[in-house]
Structure 1
Amino acid sequence: MKKLLSLLLLCTVVVTTLILKEQKKEQIVLKFAYGSNSPVVKDAMAKMGKLLEEKTNGEVVVEYYPDSQLGGERELIELVQSGAIDFTKVAGAALESFSKVYSIFGLPYLFDNETHFHKVMQSEDIMRPIYTSTEEVGFRGLTYYDSGQRSFYMKNKQIKSPEDLKGMKIRVMQSETAIRMIQLMGGSPTPMPNGETYTALQQGIIDGAESNEFAITEARHGEVARYYSYDEHTRVPDIVIFGNKVLEKLNDSQIEALYEAAYESTEFQKEKWGESVAQAREQSIKDFGMIYSDVTSKDAFKKLVQPLHEEFKINESISEIYNSIVNMK
């Protein structure tokens, strides 16, 4: 009797082990790496992975590599291209060197307001050709997250008018459009990875930078900069991209689940964004004594960058998208 029970127990263990091994073998693990981000964007990316796992009954899981563990935005894009990782999230301007059409998001004063921005980003007619424009180089866009407005923040002075930018060295993203924008406004653009901005401000290599309020808190630039001026020159979306090889790993239902999870994570992030920005601003005032102010006139800045708009209007590869966005106002 004891031998029979032992045999039954052994069989149960063997069968259970085989089932677990088979389940583990069938589970698809996708790698998602990203750089420094606001808490609400991190939450949205985590939400996407959780939803994908739920929608595929655990068949597909997402493994995260946060806070630039695997490199900066440029390196992460290249890792997606090679298939070393499956997803990353980068600023739309970082994709400009991979597809010129992404330069549209670096165009200053393209969007009238937040409502106009979301209307454009949710338009399939506008976004589908943008997301698929990088297919030939190994990846495509999946969804977007709101990254708010970008304004100037400085180490030693407020920016009230374009005259205040003259001679000022301003850190910008590694984007031709961003460089041209600062030049037209009268400043001296200094492109560099975001991870180098803190030290550059601290050492006086640059006088200021431009980003949203989370640069002050999450990147702790409030320790080395004091004045934040709302000229709100751009609204550059964060873009989640994934490698072409991901589609080879997933079946049709799993691909559908991926797109659903991505869309729902964007809706989640949109709902939380405004409150999160307000909290970051309050925290920066409390922790760093950050001084926020409005510029005297946004129109003065808008006027200076009109040559960029004229260039986009006549650019054959971008003019159609530019006109669609403007007409959606």
Structure 2
Amino acid sequence: MKMKKFWVMMLCGVMLVSAAACTKSTSGSVETDTADTSKEATENAGKTVVLRFANCQTSGHPWISSIDEFSALAEEYSNGRLKIEQYSDSTLGSETELMDQVVAGTLDMCVIDPSVGASYSNKLELFALPFLFQDKEQWKKALTGEAGKEYANLIEEETELKILAYWGGSTRNVLSAKEAVTDVSQLKGYKLRLTASELKFNVWEAVGCLPVEVAIGETYSALSSNLCDGMENEMPAFLSFKFYEVAPYLTKTEHEITVRPVFINEDVFNGLDTELQDALVKAMDETTPHEWQAEEDYCKEAETTMINDFGLQEFEIDKEPIIKAVQPVFAEFGEKNGLTEVIQMIQGL
């Protein structure tokens, strides 16, 4: 990881220099003519700090309004000393690039799919394990309890990324082109479109599927040409890409309840004085439940639209045989990556 970070910092150096030449408020900077991000928090006490917070979502997504809410609260609780600048719509790059920038310290904060950072730590793939959470109640207890804290500590120790909160809560389901999947036996030999992820391939192969790697932009064609029998994703993605047109059968597997951590560069956070740290944490703690609800509503609206306006058909499935089939993958992943205890804490809930 350290070597990876070195090269990322070298690559991001040009961006940092360029940003510094254009503005006095760079990542984690103090609004003075001689801002020096390496100063100790005590030296910056009483001064205004600007933090850049990026994501890849477009207008209308709950993250956009949630970051606006977080920004207003952070400014209020810091008596105007803490200002958050939002960069959405992939303005600063892809999710992988945002992760690289936060690790390097050229960007302060981001909210992304953690699995894009697997090159820094395989632990960041944990939440890509389907059926890790069986319902939203377990999801909330795990993330706000000891399991969430322990996981955050492990990530900070290994990557120097601090997790301020866990956003997300969208569910991922299976969308089929030919027929509705209502029994696990139908997944034997089922050609399931997946993103490039060895972990996800292992999980779905354990169920009996034949995973097929297809880019999101090519998935509509893959479904219509029978290259794939189906795909898995979140409701808003099904709607925005119009996948329901070629795959009108939705199976409510709810195999993944998404977890999207809000990351902040560890050195940036530690460089803030106590007052600003407290304001940042308090603002995030108050914003997070609102983000959860907004994301749930956003997904429900997409689901309702597809059913009422576009004829999407929904079906249930007994999840227990699928959950049982993937347990060996869970055990192997946990043992290999030092996450057995965290996984057991989550499943124990």
| Residue correspondences, number | 305
Corresponding residue for 2:340? 319
Residue identity in the other structure for 2:236: F
- Contact 2:169–2:292 (CA<8 Å) still a contact in 1? no
Aligned pairs (5 A) from 1:283-298: 283-295=305-317, 297-298=318-319
- Work out whether 1:307 is the aligned partner of 2:310: no
Question: 1:174: Cα distance to partner?
Answer: 4.1
**3-state secondary structure, aligned to 1:147:** strand
Corresponding residue for 2:5? none
Q: Which moved more, 1:306-315 or 1:76-85?
A: 306-315
- Contact 2:150–2:342 (CA<8 Å) still a contact in 1? no
The root-mean-square deviation of aligned C-alpha atoms, in Å, is 2.9
Question: 1:146: Cα distance to partner?
Answer: 3.1
- Contact 1:140–1:242 (CA<8 Å) still a contact in 2? yes
Residue identity in the other structure for 1:60: L
Corresponding residue for 1:34? 55
Residues 30-58 of structure 1, C-alpha deviations (whole Å, 9 max, x = no match): 22221237722332222222211222222
Alpha-carbon distance between aligned partners in 1 of 2:217 and 2:280, rounded to the nearest angstrom: 30
Aligned pairs (5 A) from 1:245-264: 245-247=267-269, 249-264=271-286
Aligned pairs (5 A) from 1:148-297: 148-191=170-213, 197=219, 201=223, 206-247=228-269, 249-295=271-317, 297=318
Aligned pairs (5 A) from 1:108-119: 108-119=130-141
Alpha-carbon distance between aligned partners in 2 of 1:277 and 1:117, rounded to the nearest angstrom: 17
Alpha-carbon distance between aligned partners in 1 of 2:187 and 2:149, rounded to the nearest angstrom: 37
Alpha-carbon distance between aligned partners in 2 of 1:306 and 1:134, rounded to the nearest angstrom: 23
Residue identity in the other structure for 2:136: E
Alpha-carbon distance between aligned partners in 1 of 2:169 and 2:191, rounded to the nearest angstrom: 23
Change over 3 Å in CA distance of 1:120–1:280 after alignment to 2:
same
Corresponding residue for 1:133? 154
Residue identity in the other structure for 1:160: T
TM-score (norm 2): 0.76
Corresponding residue for 2:116? 94
Stretches of structure 1 lacking an aligned partner (at least 5 in a row): 1-21
Question: 1:149: Cα distance to partner?
Answer: 2.3
Alpha-carbon distance between aligned partners in 2 of 1:238 and 1:247, rounded to the nearest angstrom: 19
Alpha-carbon distance between aligned partners in 2 of 1:192 and 1:47, rounded to the nearest angstrom: 36
Change over 3 Å in CA distance of 1:81–1:203 after alignment to 2:
farther
**3-state secondary structure, aligned to 1:148:** strand
Residue identity in the other structure for 2:87: Y
- Contact 1:93–1:173 (CA<8 Å) still a contact in 2? no
Corresponding residue for 2:164? 142
Alpha-carbon distance between aligned partners in 1 of 2:212 and 2:222, rounded to the nearest angstrom: 10
Residue identity in the other structure for 1:34: N
Residue identity in the other structure for 2:329: L
Corresponding residue for 1:54? 76
**Percent identity of equivalent pairs:** 27
Corresponding residue for 2:23? none
Question: 1:78: Cα distance to partner?
Answer: 0.8
Change over 3 Å in CA distance of 1:230–1:254 after alignment to 2:
same
Residue identity in the other structure for 2:339: I
- Contact 2:62–2:295 (CA<8 Å) still a contact in 1? yes
Question: 1:199: Cα distance to partner?
Answer: 6.3
- Contact 2:113–2:259 (CA<8 Å) still a contact in 1? yes
TM-score (norm 1): 0.80
Question: 1:230: Cα distance to partner?
Answer: 0.7
**3-state secondary structure, aligned to 2:163:** strand
Larger Rg: 1
Alpha-carbon distance between aligned partners in 1 of 2:55 and 2:337, rounded to the nearest angstrom: 33
Alpha-carbon distance between aligned partners in 1 of 2:222 and 2:51, rounded to the nearest angstrom: 35
Residues 12-69 of structure 1, C-alpha deviations (whole Å, 9 max, x = no match): xxxxxxxxxx977654222222123772233222222221122222222222221223
Question: 1:143: Cα distance to partner?
Answer: 0.5
Residues 129-172 of structure 1, C-alpha deviations (whole Å, 9 max, x = no match): 32233334342211011323221113443222334334444333
Residue identity in the other structure for 2:187: L
Residues 297-321 of structure 1, C-alpha deviations (whole Å, 9 max, x = no match): 2123223212223325655711111
- Contact 1:36–1:219 (CA<8 Å) still a contact in 2? no
Change over 3 Å in CA distance of 1:139–1:204 after alignment to 2:
farther
